[in-house]
Structure 1
Amino acid sequence: MRFAFCRYRRPFRQPLRTRYGLWSIREGILVRLTDAETGGQGYGEIAPIPWLGSETVEEALAFCQQLPPELSEAEIEKIPATLPATRFGLECAWLACRDPGWLARDLSGLSWCGLFGKTPPSGSYPAYKVKVGVEPLEQEVKKLESWLEQLPAGSCLRLDANGGLSLEGARRWLALCDRINQEWPGKIEFFEQPLPPAQHADLSRLSWEFQTPIALDESVVGLEQLQAVHQAGWKGILVVKPSLVGSCLALRDYLRQHPSLDLAFSSALETPIGAWHGLVWAGSLQAKTAHPRALGWGVGEFFQEGDPLTLITLSAQERAALMQAVWERHSQP
């Protein structure tokens, strides 16, 4: 396979405020593999988020620069676990080039999780995510009542702290979630990563102390981390961002061996290229989990263009044309 790559910089519509600081520009690498015999092409995307535990864009770029112009499947399989986003991007480009039906997947029957921003949510998803741990706890607790009032009927909330709470703060939040769920069962679907990964023992204790389910995200970014946490006895929800997990083929095999896993799949804010690959894998794998959950790709408001959910309504030919257009836009000098 002939190998080509280019770096991209994609500004957010508004900088994202996270516990790691303001995030203004999404950076990554687009890759293209071309079958020398058939001329068929497959696009992929390397979309690292280093503060979540993946490689940096610079590390991925350095790896791509030392690869030969012709790649084999064996060389992709040898990409180390320390470069999970790189493995995902090249593996998906290979699959897209080899599988004629890759762009023709029907994902219309899936359900989605949207994001709760400064304005009331648009549309009606079964679940919405809201970030906490960014402002003082008292202010955010007061906002929770407003978030619940704006929630569409029948929808639930996912709260995500990105590991930014203290143990005391996590207990206060989870106690409040338990009270809400006692009055409105299931209104808080789960609380995502209240504490940093280093406090795994505390996370385990919290999962026993409170009724509200806890989901681990930053603790299980790569497949090796996910396997280690699962094999250490974690029984709760694990969040998977396909673009950061590494080999989704290996994740599929692990899920076959452990069908009791409870996984929640989520976007890593990719271009339409990476978004499609993530959606295909999430749609394929979530039905095999113990508790299929809404997929976290309702993120279209973050960018001027490229709402990933519009991919669902396109034909295979339209998806191929869109990926080529994304490549051409970012590969031009």
Structure 2
Amino acid sequence: MNSYQFTYSIYQRPFRQPLITSHGVWKIREGIILKFTDSFGRSHQGEIAPIEWFGSESIERARSFCGQIGDRITTSQIQQIPDDLPACQFGFGSAWTAFDSIPSKVESEFEMSALLPAGEAAIDRLQALSTQGYTTFKWKIGVLPIDREMAIWSQLMTALPNNAKLRLDANGGLTEGAAGQWLELCSHQARIEFIEQPLAPDAIAKTIELAAKYSTPIALDESVATFDRLQHVYDRGWRGIYVIKPGIAGFPWRLAAFITKHQLDVVFSSVMETEVGIAAACRLASSLNLKRSLGFGVDEWFED
């Protein structure tokens, strides 16, 4: 049983502008950076970046857990982190497995999806990001009245380069009727990659019905945020796209095994983590040979 010297530090990263979704307004990303050092003096980092409203533990609970460990941690302790601490499972698990990981693709070698601001600000931002080489974009919907958002969507489609794709993310904020309107509107647009989480996370049966009714692809996000939810949704029969946030999806090796076993169509997505967490997610993505653009194009959102 290996053990490691253990230290951690807490960070706060203010957004350049608040991130607005159907969940509310997010102004500051708080998280924890972990550092493991082995007996040879080698060090690796991990990151705990919870999103409590997505179903992970709170930052307070994660901080309390780290504070109870002391200055050394064993592999047995890591493996025993409970499932109600999924962000801790990923942070500790990715720091530990980094010691044995095979060098893989670096972040810059992956195609990334850029996150646009909600509302009309997305139009100018899309044009700016297009010049930086991005060809996949995500835009939040379910924030403004639907007629206004559809008018903005029309402008976005005009501004969207012909070789680019747009992902619409409702964060579970649409009614069934509004979801149908969006799915119908996008049904003849090949550049719409998917509509993400149109209905509430527990509306799995209704979402499966919508997926069968409309040609626009649907992806699930909040519904599959943690590993237990991912298992539950698969068991309920979802065979569409899974948008998985590795940073709150628990132990990386368990997640990888599940994706591989069931051959899931997966998009890895950001929890607005730092480069430490993104690097860990990219290592995992490389091992799985994921095909879709990764949703980690979020650097522009932070002051640092």
Report if TM-score (shorter chain) is over 0.5. Answer: yes
Shift of residue 254, structure 1, vs aligned partner: 1.6
2:168 is matched with which residue? 159
Counterpart residue number, 2:186: 177
SS at match of 1:25: strand
Instruction: Give the Cα–Cα distance (whole angstroms) in 2 for the partners of residues 269 and 31 of structure 1.
Output: 17
Which residue in the other structure is 2:90 paired with?
Answer: 88
| C-alpha contact 2:269 2:295 (8 A) present in aligned 1 | yes
Q: 1:286 to 1:222 in 2, by over 3 A?
A: farther
- Return closer, same or farther for 1:106/1:45 CA change in 2, 3 Å cut-off: closer
User: Does the aligned pair in 2 maintain the 1:42–1:95 contact within 8 Å?
Assistant: no
Partner of 2:50: 48
Q: Runs in 1 of length 4+ with deviation above 6 angstroms?
A: none
Q: What residue number does 1:226 align with?
A: 230
**CA distance, structure 2, for counterparts of residue 56 and residue 10 of structure 1:** 16
Unpaired runs of 5+ in structure 2?
none
Is the 1:54–1:244 contact (alpha carbons within 8 Å) kept by the matching residues of 2? Answer: yes
1:277 aligns with 2:287: no
Shift in Å at residue 109 of structure 1? 4.0
Q: Once the 2 structures are TM-superposed, how far is the Cα of residue 150 of structure 1 from its aligned partner?
A: 1.3
Structure 1 gap segments, 5+ residues each = 306-333
**Residues 1:256 and 1:21: Cα distance change in structure 2 (over 3 Å):** closer
Letter in 2 for 1:48: P
Distance 1:79 1:40 in 2: 23
Aligned to 2:301: 302
Match of 1:99, as an amino acid? D
Equivalent position to 2:15, from 12, 17, 33: 12
Aligned in 2, Cα 1:100/1:159: closer, same or farther, shift over 3 Å? closer
Structure 1 contact 107–283 (Cα < 8 Å) conserved: no
Structure 1, residues 24-59: CA drift from partner, whole Å, max 9, x if none? Answer: 100011111111x21111111100011111110011
SS of the residue corresponding to residue 197 of structure 1 reads coil
Q: Which is worse superposed, 68-77 or 143-152?
A: 68-77
Report how far residue 105 of structure 1 moved: 4.0
Corresponding position of 2:36: 33
For residues 115 and 25 of structure 2, what CA distance do their matches in structure 1 show?
17
TM-score by length of 2: 0.92
Q: 1:8-39 CA distances to partner (integer Å, 9 max, x unpaired)?
A: 1110111111112211100011111111x211
Equivalent residues of 2:31, 2:47 under 8 A apart: yes
Indicate if the aligned counterparts of 2:194 and 2:219 stay in contact, CA closer than 8 A.
Answer: yes
Q: Out of 255, 262, 266, which is 2:265 matched to? A: 262
Normalising by structure 1, report the TM-score.
0.84
Structure 2 distance, partners of 1:227, 1:198, is 13
5 Å-filtered alignment, 1:1-333, equals 1-35=4-38, 37-96=39-98, 98-99=99-100, 101-102=102-103, 105-117=105-117, 118=121, 119-121=124-126, 122=129, 123-178=132-187, 180-181=188-189, 186-259=190-263, 261-287=264-290, 292-305=291-304
Question: Does the aligned pair in 2 maintain the 1:197–1:219 contact within 8 Å?
Answer: yes
Higher relative contact order (CA 8 A, sep 6+): 2
